[in-house]
A and B are shown apart, each in its own frame.
Chain A
C-alpha cells in the first residue's frame, strides 16, 4: 500500500491560518493516551483502545476525502486508505484483525474457515472456504471465484496499478508466463509444470508457490487476492461496479466525484469475525481543498477523513489549543519510515557515509516533517510495530538532544580521507516537507564542512526514474536521496524485501541504494521459512546489518494528527492498513 503516491497530487492550497504556525516541536511527543478500559474518549485513545464502544445501530457514516480512490477494483488500488475502504465490501481469504494497537497487524481467517495447512517446505498453502458464502446478488461464492480473481491480476496491461508483483512472482514461472484470462482463455499460471492455483472442490483452494514464503497469509489478505465473479468481470471497467462480499456494497458511484455504499443483504455476520458494521449506509464526499475538508470535519458535516494523512496546520493549531477538540484527536502512526539513502555507487567509502549519519540534526528534521505531532525520531529502519523492532538500537547516536554528533562526524571524515568535508547532491521533490528536509540537511551537514547541493526531481517521475533508476543516480551523482517507505503488509519481510535486496530494476527500482549484501540477502531468505517465534531475532539482526553499512539513515517515523467526530462509536486505528480509522466497524451514536 502506498501513501507515497499522494506525492503525485497537485500541491495543497495555502490554508488561511488565523493562528499561523504549524505545530512547534520540542516538548513531549504527546504519546500518552488517556484511554480507559471502558473505551472513553481521550487524546490518542484510538491508538491503544476502541473508543466509544457501543452497539447502537443505524444511521449513515459520512466520510470526506480529498480525491476519489485510485481505483475501486480491489486488484488495482494501492493507496493505504483505499485498502481500508475495501474492507467495507471486499473480503479475502485472510484479513487484518479488528484490534487496536500493534495487535491489528495480525491476520486471521476471513473467508477461510480456519488457518491454512502449510507444507513443510513452506511452498504449498491449502485454504478451506467457509460454506454458504454468497455474492451480493445471492449467487454462491466458490474457490473458483478466488482463483479467477487472482488470475486476472496477471493481465497487467488492463488490470494495472495494484500490487500485482507478489502474485506474478509467487504463482507463475518465467519461461512461459501467464498472460491473464483476457488474452489466454484456456491457460492458467503454472509453477514447475503444474497449475499453481488448484481448486479440487468448491471449498478448497491450494497455492503452489515458486519458492518458500512464510508471509503468504498476508498476500492472501491484500485486496488484490479477493474473489471476482467471472461473469461480472468487465476488465478495466470493473472498477466502476465491483461485486461485494462484505457487509456493504456500492450503491451509487459517480467516477471522480462521490461514492455511496448500502448494506449487502447477502452478507452474514455469522461468517465474519472481523467486521461488526453498525451503520446502514456510508457516503464519501469529495472535498478537494484540505482546509475546507478539515472545517467540514470540525463542524460535523463529515464524521471522518478518508485520506488518513492528518489534518492541516490550521485545524491542528485549533485542536492542540482546545482540550475539547484535542480529546477527539489521535496521533496516528506509524506506517512510514523517512530516511536518507546514501548510494555506495556515489559515496563508496563507509566512513564518509557514517560521517553524514552522525552529522544529521534529527531534531531539525523532525520539525521539518511537522514537529512532534507529525512524527517521532527514528533510529532504526524498522517501524515500531514490526517484529524485531529494537527501541534501544541506535547505530549513529546524534546526541541526547538529537541535534547531531559533530565530533564523531569529523572523526569519520578524517577516516575517509576528507577531513575538510566534500560536496554532495541531494535528490528530493522540491515542495512541502521535502524542501524543508533539504534545508535542514544542508544546515546540519554544513557544520562539518559537507556542502549539500540541491538536485530536485520532478514530482511525477521522482520514484520511477529519478531515484528509481540506478544509472540516473550515478549520472547525476545523487549522493543523498530523500525517501520514505511503508510496507505493503506489516511484516519484517514485507518491510525490508523491496528496499534492501534484489531485484534491482533499471527503473521503478525501490532498492534505492542498490544493495546486494550477502548477509542481508541470507537473512531475508532465512525469514521466508522461519516460524513467527524466530522472526524477531532475524529482523533485529537485519536492521542492525543495514544500519552498519550506513546506506540508509532513518530519521523520522511519520505520524498524522487525525480527528474523529464526537458521534463516532467503536473507533480505533487499524495498524494493518497503516493506522487509519477502521471505517467498516464505525458506528454513529445518534443512529442518524
Chain B
C-alpha cells in the first residue's frame, strides 16, 4: 500500500507539472491568436507603445517564455524579490508571484480567499451528502411509491436549475423579500469570518450552502438510489433477510456499505473540485473566494494569479484523487493495491 501511495504521489506531481505548463502556454498562445496583449489592460486609455512596453517590462512579460516559466516555477521553491518602484520586497517560498492587478503576493491572496471557498464547500458538501444520500436511500427503499417519484422530480429540478437562478431566487425571498421572510439579512454581502462572528458566518453562508447543495444533492440522491437498488438486489442481501436480520441491520450495515463506495469516490472529487472555487455561487453571493479570484484574474489577464489558482486547484484535485482511491481500499475489502 505504501508503495502504491508513493507511486501515485509521483504521478500527481507530474500531472501538476503538465497542467502548469499547459496554463502558461494557453495564457501566451491565446493572445497570439486573438492579437491581444495583457499589458493593454493595465496601461490606461491613451497608452502609447512606449508605455505599453514599460508595463510589459515591469511585469516581466517581455522575457522569453521559457525564462518566465522558469522564474515563476523556481519562485515556488526558492522565493522571489519584487520591487514596487520604491523598495524591494521579499516573497518567501512558496511564492506564487505578485498579482498584476492587486500588487499582492498571490500566495497571500490565495490564503486569504481559501477559507471562504473552504467554508462554502464543506458546508454545502455536508448538506448535500446527508440530504442527497438520505433521500436516495428512502427513494430506493420505497421504490415506486409517491415519495420516490416526488423526490426524483425534485431532484430533476435541482439538477436542471442553474445555481445562480436558485441563488438569486433565495436572495430575493429570504434577504430582500417581504420583511416577514428576511431570515438571512446578511446573505449576498460577502463572507463573515468565523473567528469574527460565528453566528454571522453561519447565516451569511446558509443561502449559498442551500443553493449549491440543491444542485449536488439531486445528483447524489439519484446516484444513491440507483446504487442502493443494485445492491439490494444482490444475493447476500437476500441471505441476510432470510437469516431474519432486522431491516435496519440489513440496510444500514450490509447494503449501505457496498452502495456507498461509488458515492465516496464521487464525493471526494466533487469536493476537491469545489475547493478550487465555486465560481457562480461565489459571484451570486459576493463571496470573495478562489472562484471569484480566478474569474477576476482571467478578465484582467493577471497571469500570476491565474497560474497560482490553477496550480493550487490542480494539487487539491490530484490529492483528492489519491485520498479517494485509498479510501476505496479501506471501505471495500475486495480492493487491494500492490
Query: Which residues of A are interface residues toward B (Cβ below 8 A)?
Result: 2, 4-5, 8-10, 13-16, 67, 76, 78, 155-166, 168, 180, 182, 233-237, 239-240, 255-258, 285-289, 291-292, 295-296, 298-299, 301, 458, 460-461, 463-466, 469, 472, 488, 498, 503, 505-508, 510
Contacts and interface: CB of A to CB of B under 8 A. Distances in A.
Interface string B89-123: 00000000000001110000000000000000000
Contacts of B188: 287, 289, 292, 295-296
Given A160-B44, A161-B44, A292-B171, A285 B190 contact: yes
Given A505-B48, A508-B43, A461 B168 contact: no
Given A76-B44, A78-B45, 13 more contacts: A8-B299, A14-B165, A157-B85, A160-B44, A288-B283, A288-B284, A288-B292, A289-B286, A291-B168, A295-B176, A296-B189, A460-B36, A505-B48
B301 to A, nearest CB: 6
A222 to B, nearest CB: 12
A13 to B, nearest CB: 5
Given A292-B168, A460-B299, A506 B49 contact: yes
B164 interface: yes
Contacts of B176: 292, 295-296, 298-299
Contacts of A288: 282-284, 286, 292
B165 A16 contact: yes
B151 to A, nearest CB: 26
Interface in B289-312: 292-293, 295-296, 299-301
B119 to A, nearest CB: 15
Contacts of B296: 10, 67, 256
A8 B51 CA distance: 20
A166 B46 CA distance: 9
Contacts of A503: 48
A76 to B, nearest CB: 8
Interface stretch (B53-61, B246-254, B270-278): B53-61
A164 B45 CA distance: 9
Interface string B78-94: 00000111110000000
Contact of B58 (A158, A285, A498): A158
Contact of B85 (A158, A162, A296): A158
Nearest 4 interchain pairs by C-beta: A461-B36, A235-B85, A464-B40, A158-B85
Contact of B84 (A158, A168, A460): A158
Contacts of B57: 157
B299 A10 contact: yes
A234 B86 contact: yes
Nearest to A165: B46
A287 B287 CA distance: 9
Given A160-B43, A289-B188, A508-B46, A465 B85 contact: no
Given A161-B44, A256-B102, A298-B176, A234 B283 contact: no
Contacts of B55: 156-157, 160
B175 interface: yes
A9 B164 CA distance: 18
Contact of A292 (B41, B46, B84, B286): B286
B103 A9 contact: no
Interface of B: 31, 34-38, 40-52, 54-55, 57-58, 83-87, 102-104, 164-165, 168-169, 171-172, 175-176, 185, 188-190, 280, 282-286, 288, 292-293, 295-296, 299-301
A166 B185 CA distance: 47
B84 A234 contact: yes
A235 B171 CA distance: 41
A161 B46 contact: no
Contacts of B286: 286-289, 292
A488 B45 CA distance: 10
B280 to A, nearest CB: 8
B86 A165 contact: no
Given A156-B51, A156-B55, A461-B35, A237 B284 contact: no
B104 A14 contact: no
Nearest to A161: B44
A423 B169 CA distance: 45
Nearest to B98: A236
Given A156-B55, A157-B54, A505-B48, A14 B164 contact: yes
Contacts of B38: 460
B168 A508 contact: no
Contacts of A286: 190, 286, 288
Given A14-B165, A155-B85, A295-B171, A257 B54 contact: no
A510 B46 CA distance: 7
Most-contacted residue by chain A among B83, B85, B175 (CB, 10 A): B85
A230 to B, nearest CB: 9
A562 B189 CA distance: 21
A577 to B, nearest CB: 15
Contact of A235 (B50, B84, B175, B185): B84
A155 B176 CA distance: 47
8 contacts: A10-B296, A235-B86, A235-B87, A236-B84, A237-B103, A288-B292, A465-B37, A503-B48
